[in-house]
Amino acid sequence: MTAAAASPVFSSAPAAPSASDVPESAVSRWAVGLMSGTSLDGVDAALIHSDGRTVRAFGPARTCPYPPELREAVRAILGERGGEEAIAAVERTLTDIHAEAVEDLLAAAGLTARQVAVVGFHGQTINHRPQERHTRQIGDGARLAARLGCPVVYDFRTADVKAGGQGAPLVPVYHQALCAGQDHAGQDAPGVTAVLNIGGVANVTVLAAGQAPLAFDTGPGNALLDDWALRHTGVAVDRDGALARQGQVDAAALGRLMAHPYFSRRPPKSLDRDDFAALARCVDGLSAADGAATLAAFTVEACATARDWMPQAPARWLVCGGGRHNPTLMAALRQRLAVPVEPVESRGWDGDALEAQAFAFLALRHLDGLPQTFPETTGCPAPMTGGRLALP
Ligand SMILES: Nc1ncnc2c1ncn2[C@@H]1O[C@H](COP(=O)(O)OP(=O)(O)OP(=O)(O)O)[C@@H](O)[C@H]1O
Ligand SMILES: CC(=O)N[C@H]1[C@@H]2OC[C@@H](O2)[C@@H](O)[C@@H]1O[C@H](C)C(=O)O
């Protein structure tokens, strides 16, 4: 464990969204978070000790990769294709893999399920159409709760989407809590901090003193690059950006990609994994290296354009998610954004575990009826809580 529960990591953190919301009874407890993101690479599991307002300690974290056949099975039902029977079969397998991830994590932490207040189970997004008030994350909360013997909060996005919100991003309230726990004095110049997650899709949280966090999906993250690499190299990742580094950006193709109407849409806004997949066929005629360079530049350019929707350009970008492991992408971001672009490890956070931790935090907020989404993060009409509770 990176810190003991008795020695708060963020003892000075004001509450999210505000210190006055903390009731006397707020108790910090262990919670597990589970995230299986749009990269379809596996399940991230993480433990935090928190009261859902501040984070007292980080526990260990784990990634449990999907076996190749599960990855293919998930791909086959994206968009809710394949029929309900096929979806139910994938959901069962996926839920059991999540259970194994929790069991491994608890064994590593030396905790039992009874010592965990709640598990936050995001599940796998297989369709996200907020404009049609529909989003679907598969994952059987009741099955997981019964197997683990502890409460599980799941289906985090539906309530927000039904209320007219985007149902994403959900992590901003956790970004806010982490940033509030940091003493920026003497460390940073004043100004706006952007927390950028480069997963399959990329999303940003903009944190400015005295203002509600603003958040939205910026555009593609790694998913287009992963799919391109799979087609051209047989491996679903451009490992360390090696392919993109050898290529040249095709300016005409990049122009076509950036002409997608998503970029002129005002936030709140969110994306599904494959929303740019059809348009990205415009790089098909390029060499493997040039295509990778152009798709990497697309991710970067989308982040640069995201600044148009921010009240102030960020003074620094803190990057989490798998994209920060890609040095070609990080170098291009630094050059394009022209301000410090750092992995979140510069703040002592774990950029691979952060999203999973966030679902532990969100589950704790569910238990206390605290809001998870806000008009400035998802466009919901008023701050609201979400998720469904399954008891063992
Ligand atoms: N060494 C590396 N070089 C290049 N890319 C990498 C490297 N390590 C991880 N990645 C990228 O990170 C991706 C995984 O990122 P992450 O786990 O943050 O995504 P996710 O959580 O599934 O997505 P999302 O946040 O959209 O839900 C991989 O698919 C890969 O593209
Ligand atoms: C519908 C859905 O699953 N969206 C994911 C996806 O992956 C990144 C980006 O798009 C983000 O908005 C969201 O996940 C993170 C965890 C979020 O809700 O904050």
Model confidence pLDDT, tens digit, residues 83-109:
999 999 999 999 999 999 999 999 999
Instruction: Out of 41, 71, 197, give the residue to mutate to test ligand 1, the one with the largest number of ligand atoms within 8 Å of its CB.
Output: 41
**Side-chain half-sphere CA neighbours of 304 within 13 A:** 17
40 Cβ closer than 6 Å to some ligand 2 atom: no
Going by the DSSP 8-state scheme, the letter that residue 66 receives in this structure is P
Domains 19-170+353-390 and 173-347 share a fold: yes
| pLDDT value of position 189 | 59
Beta-strand relationship, 152-154 and 134-138: unpaired
> Directed axis angle between helix 327-337 and helix 288-306, to 10°?
40
Ligand 2: which residue has its CA nearest to atom 6? 201
List, as residue ranges, the binding site.
37-44
Arithmetic mean of pLDDT, 139-166: 98
Cα gap 341→300, rounded to integer Å: 12
Confidence grade of residue 39 (pLDDT, cut at 50, 70, 90): confident
Is the predicted pLDDT of residue 10 greater than 60, yes or no?
no
| Residue closest by Cα to atom 3 of ligand 2 | 125
| Cβ(169) – ligand 2 distance below 6 Å | yes
Question: How far, in Å, from the CA of 73 to the mean position of ligand 1?
Answer: 19
pLDDT > 70? residue 223: yes
| Helices vs strands, H then E, count in the chain | 11, 12
Residue 258 vs residues 125, 161, 227, 305, 319: alpha-carbon distances, Å: 25, 26, 19, 9, 22
Q: What fold, for 173-347?
A: Nucleotidyltransferase; domain 5 (3.30.420)
Q: What is the pLDDT of residue 26?
A: 82
pLDDT band at 19 (very low <50, low <70, confident <90, very high): very low
Question: Average pLDDT for residues 177-186, to the nearest whole number?
Answer: 70
Q: Whose CA is nearest to atom 25 of ligand 1?
A: 199
| pLDDT category of residue 4 using cuts at 50, 70 and 90 | very low
Q: Give the pLDDT confidence score for residue 183 in this predicted structure.
A: 52
Residue 125 CA: which ligand is closest?
Answer: 2
- Ligand 1 surroundings by CB, under 6 angstroms: 35, 37-39, 41, 197, 199-201, 221-222, 226, 237-241, 321-323, 325-326, 355
Q: Which of 311, 342, 307, 341 is nearest to 210 (CA)?
A: 311
Q: Please name which of 55, 64, 59, 65 lies closest in space to residue 108, comparing C-alpha atoms.
A: 59
What is the CA(168)–ligand 2 centre distance, in A?
A: 6
Please state, in angstroms and rounded to a whole number, the distance separating the CA atoms of residues 271 and 167. Answer: 10
For the stretch 346-382, pLDDT in tens is: 999 999 999 999 999 999 999 999 999 999 999 999 9
pLDDT in tens, 239-249: 999 999 999 99
Give domain limits for the chain: 19-170+353-390, 173-347
Nearest-atom index, ligand 2, CA of 272: 1
- β partners of residue 215: 205
Cα dihedral 281→284→286→291 (10° resolution)? 60
The best mutation among 126, 217, 272 to test binding of ligand 2, ranked by most ligand atoms within 8 Å of the C-beta, falls on 217
Q: Which ligand is located closest to the Cα atom of residue 37?
A: 1
Does position 14 have pLDDT exceeding 70, yes or no? no
Q: What is the DSSP string of 135-201?
A: EEEE--HHHHHHHHTS-EEE--SHHHHHTTS-----THHHHHHHHHTS--TTTS-SS-EEEEEESSE
Which helix (H) or strand (E) segment holds residue 46: the answer is strand 42-50
Of the candidates 188, 98, 195, the one whose C-alpha atom is nearest the C-alpha of residue 138 is 98
Tokens of 29: 């407890």
Report the candidate in 253, 305, 297, 304 with the shortest Cα–Cα distance to residue 279.
253
- The residue contributing the CA closest to ligand 2 atom 9 is 201
Least confident of 167-176, 181-190, 194-203, 278-287: 181-190
213 lines ligand 2 (CB under 6 A): no
Ligand nearest to the CA of 170: 2
pLDDT at 12: 29
CA dihedral (371, 372, 376, 379) positive or negative: negative
Query: Among the listed ranges 127-136, 177-186, 272-281, which one has the minimum average pLDDT value?
Result: 177-186
Ligand 1 atom with the smallest distance to the CA of 39 is 22
For strands 134-138 and 201-207, give the pairing: unpaired
Contact of 216 with 309, CB cutoff 8 Å: yes
Pocket test for ligand 2, best of 270, 352, 365 (most atoms within 8 A of CB): 270
Relative to the CA of 225, which ligand 1 atom is closest?
31
User: Which residue ranges make up the annotated binding site for ATP?
Assistant: 37-44
Sign of the alpha-carbon torsion through 378, 359, 48, 24: positive
Distances (CA, A) of 223 to 37, 167, 311, 323: 10, 20, 28, 10
Q: Cβ(165) to ligand 2 under 6 A?
A: no
For ligand 1, atom 28, name the residue with the nearest CA.
Answer: 322
Alpha helices in the chain (DSSP H): 68-77, 84-109, 141-148, 158-162, 172-180, 223-233, 242-246, 251-258, 288-306, 327-337, 354-367
Q: Please tell me the number of the ligand nearest to residue 344's CA.
A: 1
Average pLDDT over residues 292-296: 98
Q: Which of 170, 326, 329 is the pocket-test mutation for ligand 1 (most atoms within 8 Å of CB)?
A: 326
Residue 238: both structure tokens together: 């451009």
205-226 as b/e: b if 16+ CB within 10 A: bbbbeeebbbbbbbbbbbbbbb
How many angstroms does the Cα of residue 6 sit away from the middle of ligand 2?
32
For the domain 19-170+353-390, what is the CATH superfamily, name and number? Answer: ATPase, nucleotide binding domain (3.30.420.40)
Helix axes 288-306, 251-258, angle to 10 degrees: 40
Instruction: Name the closest ligand to CA 330.
Output: 1
